[in-house]
Chains A and B, each alone.
Chain A
Amino acid sequence: MTSAENLQAFRRDGRIVVVGASLAGLRAAETLREEGFTGSLTMIGDELGEPYDRPPLSKQVLTGWVPAGNTKLPRRREIDAEWLLGVPADGLDLAANHVHLADGREVPFDRVLISTGVRARPWFVESEAALDGVFVVRTREHAEGLQRALAAGPSRVLVIGAGFTGSEIASICRERDIPVTVAELAPAPLVGALGAMIGEVAADLQRAHGVDLRCGVKVTQLEGDAQGRLRRAHFEDGTTIDADVAVVALGGIRNTDWLRSSGLAAGVWGIACDTGCRALDLNGLVTDDIFVAGDVARCPNPIYEYRLISLEHWANAVEQAGVAAHNMVSAQADRWPHLTIPLFWSIQFGVNIKSVGVPTFADEVVVTQGSVPDHRFVAAYGYRGRVTAAVSFNNAKWLDHYRRLIETAAPFPPPCPAPDQPADMKPVPVDFPGPVLLAQGATVVVTGHDPSERRVTAVRQHR
């Protein structure tokens, strides 16, 4: 058979398995059907119930407005899939083309899409994490539990970690008039994602809304009472704070553990893939039948010097899923690269924060429009003289212009003034606390001498 005939046969009655039945998995499945795939489609997910939307979990669900069970995602179309839910996948056999499930079953496939996403990073002491009143927020069960705890009127909520999720939760607490302390290791909120200048603005915003914001501090211990209820948190400097709710918002862990012995280039940094969403194996070779999309994918972006970047962004999950699904049922010549400019948003303290591009890929930042004290402005990020990102606070209608600047590698700082000129238009160093872009690195062991025998034999996470 020619490869065209093979493709036709595969599109007609091949077997596609999607591991990870959340946003990216669902949208990929819809695209597969849209593109005319008529074979069998199996959706594997570790959570029970239909795919649901996560961003509302730290916002309208926590205000008590929308019940946690009511964020089920709308469908773009029927997908006619078999759903295997409630049991996680725990292995991928690339020789036999099987997904192993935790309950021992095997699901065969011709092609597989991995969209297993991330989970919340738990508190590092298991017994303390188990205390009544200690939460993470990733699933609807988490959000439901936290919402109930907030509705009970806690005397104080401690939010550990002032990234986007932590800041959003602190915002909801203030909206519900609950005293809240935010503890952040960095010098300001959002610093890791948006840099020091925006971090200062975010800090102002929190304090203006009555958040007890403590930066440069480390929570070392969560202390419970005899009934196993959280009572107190200890800081590294020996001080303590009484709180009956603590939210651990320390980011996510990519769900790649189940791929440990799969032979894919998978680790804490995600699963490496090409822009066509095909997974790389340990050696960095592109695979043919394994595709990746969403938070777990680590994809090169030509705009950012071809660096491998993984994004925990809603829009990225949707778009990458579309590209991956298209490529799964297309001939090589018809495949698309995933080349979109990243977009992100957060809602906190009545402000719509949006970003375009990759703010961590920058050495300088400048406010280009609006007023920082009023929390209405746009800031452009630059790297070696070109625009690489922009962030807006309640100024989203201008952001598309900055997307164009990024796409066209426009000079930084943007040379021409706009009507709404900020007081100070001097670029300042972006001042990130560390090289966030590359996240955690990988350490590999290479063996063999001849080109024909050189292989990566193991990948370790350093530290």
Chain B
Amino acid sequence: MTTTETPGLLRRILDYSSRADPYPLYAELRKTPVARQDDGSYVISTYRELTDILHNPHLSSDTRNLSQPMAGAEGQTAPAFINLDPPEHDRLRRMAMRHFGPPHTPALLTGMEPVLATTVGGLIDDLTDKERIDLVDDFAYPFPVTVICHLLGVPREDEPRFHLWVNDLINSIDYDPKTDPKEKLDKGVQARMDLREYLGGLLAQRHGRPGEDLLSRLANDDGPDGRMTDEEIVSTANLLLIAGHETTVNLITNGMLTLLRHPQVLQRLRGEPDLVVPLVEELLRYEPPVHIIPWRAAYSDITVADTEIRKGSQIMLMLAAGSRDPDRFHDPDRFDPDRRDNQHLGFGSGIHLCFGGPLARRETQIALTELVRRLDGIRLVDDPPPYRRSPILRGPVHLHVERSAG
């Protein structure tokens, strides 16, 4: 049993004060690869143990397998595939994938590239004569939201409505019963219901009307696995809408922040646009948009790194700590876009590997290339910038930059 970790370390990581730089705490955490917490849960933070457990069929993503029920679980009528295990996970993900990628729809993403480029171009057009820019509100947020709305078939003009729900929902994910008022949790439950109702309304209009967007396709498709129920479609759309912008906004923002902190790399990217490909991979390792998978459950007893985790235990996976593990990555705290063998955990691993990863990659590649090409002479106003609350989906809430005169 490994219980040598510093008491309260996880609490310090989750505490907002460490949001700007959790990495030294991750290093401390990695000294105990599998750390048992006072409440009986486990935190895994080293690369090999993380990749092992992500391929372990006894690790469940279904919170109903936790021996102590999760706070705020009410209102979760039908879990989306991210919170399900095989075979249900596989079936629903496969049915959603039919309309998003290979093998059934392999050219969707490359076909979207002109839309991505136009959207990026249009947003940057509006920035070029501004002296002060918030790269989050003015770019990194509206870009992926426009794309995911287009993809799903959600009206872009409804964004102010679902933005609020998504915010409340995300806030409720890092609910802490010891410090948070219960209203934070209630707000999340309400937001979840509101968002579902909204998506359900959109779905109702799609039945019998075949269209190109994902909602229409899911509503009218009869593939080899049959058709999803309306409840399943709403859960899937809900997941993709949230994940489709809450994570990409962080990746793009973290990317610009990292580039502004590494001006030589930024300069290189300007002259060498191909660099963006390995650079985004390094970003996914070095400043990933998702830091933690908080609620996995031991479906049966699991042994990891000589630690036995009992059936029903909660397991927290510290992906961002794993991607900085010096036992796997040479000089892990260095941002090195030329890094080889960069098998990071930025999108997770195993059957739950990020569904939208390829889209997020292309969005970020195009966004960073164009931002760097068209906005010259920008500098950070605040370093570190203000961060969002969440330690799970971690990123700046604003990223203000100023153009130098001339």
Contacts and interface: CB of A to CB of B under 8 A. Distances in A.
Q: Quick check: do A and B touch in the complex, using CB within 8 A?
A: yes
- Size class of the A contact interface (CB-based, 8 Å): 10 to 19
B224 to A, nearest CB: 10
B125 interface: no
Nearest to B311: A416
Interface string B83-103: 001110010000000000000
B339 interface: no
A397 B58 contact: no
Given A369-B86, A376-B90, A397-B351, A419 B299 contact: yes
A398 B56 CA distance: 7
Given A397-B350, A397-B351, A420 B56 contact: no
Contacts of B300: 416-418
Interface in B18-69: 51-52, 55-58, 60, 62, 65
Contact of A401 (B56, B299, B301): B56
B57 A398 contact: yes
A319 to B, nearest CB: 16
A370 interface: yes
A397 B51 CA distance: 11
Interface in B72-87: 85-87
Given A416-B300, A420-B85, A420-B87, A369 B57 contact: yes
A418 B55 contact: no
A418 B350 contact: no
A404 interface: yes
Contacts of B85: 419-420
A399 B52 CA distance: 11
A401 B87 contact: no
Interface string B334-378: 000000000000000011000000000000000000000000000
Interface in A378-416: 378, 397-401, 404, 416
Contact of A419 (B52, B60, B350): B60
B52 A418 contact: no
B34 to A, nearest CB: 15
Nearest to A417: B300
B48 to A, nearest CB: 10
A326 B204 CA distance: 64
Interface in B167-195: none
B86 A419 contact: yes
A420 B89 CA distance: 10
Contacts of A371: 87
A441 to B, nearest CB: 38
A218 to B, nearest CB: 37
A418 B87 contact: no
B63 to A, nearest CB: 13
A74 to B, nearest CB: 15
Most B C-beta atoms less than 10 A away, residue of A368, A418, A419: A419
Contacts of A416: 58, 300-302
A289 B56 CA distance: 43
B185 to A, nearest CB: 27
A84 B90 CA distance: 51
A420 to B, nearest CB: 4
Contacts of A420: 57, 85-87, 90
Interface in A270-294: none
Contacts of B52: 400-401, 404
B57 A419 contact: yes
A398 B299 contact: no
A397 B55 contact: yes
A257 to B, nearest CB: 40
Contacts of B302: 416
Contacts of A397: 55, 350-351
Contacts of A401: 52, 55-57
A33 B149 CA distance: 52
B166 to A, nearest CB: 29
Contacts of A418: 57-58, 299-300
Contacts of B299: 417-419
A416 B57 CA distance: 10
Contacts of B350: 397-398
A371 B90 CA distance: 12
A369 to B, nearest CB: 6
B67 to A, nearest CB: 16
A62 B88 CA distance: 35
A91 B62 CA distance: 63
B86 A400 contact: no
Nearest to B349: A397
A369 B90 CA distance: 13
Given A369-B86, A417-B58, A420-B87, 9 more contacts: A370-B86, A397-B351, A398-B351, A400-B52, A401-B57, A404-B52, A418-B58, A419-B62, A419-B299
26 contacts: A369-B57, A370-B87, A371-B87, A376-B90, A378-B57, A397-B350, A398-B55, A398-B57, A398-B351, A400-B52, A400-B55, A401-B52, A401-B55, A401-B56, A401-B57, A416-B300, A416-B301, A417-B58, A418-B57, A418-B58, A418-B299, A418-B300, A419-B85, A419-B86, A419-B299, A420-B87
Interface of B: 51-52, 55-58, 60, 62, 65, 85-87, 90, 299-302, 350-351
Interface of A: 368-371, 376, 378, 397-401, 404, 416-420
- Sorted nearest first, the 5 A-B pairs with minimum C-beta distance are A419-B85, A418-B57, A416-B300, A420-B86, A400-B55
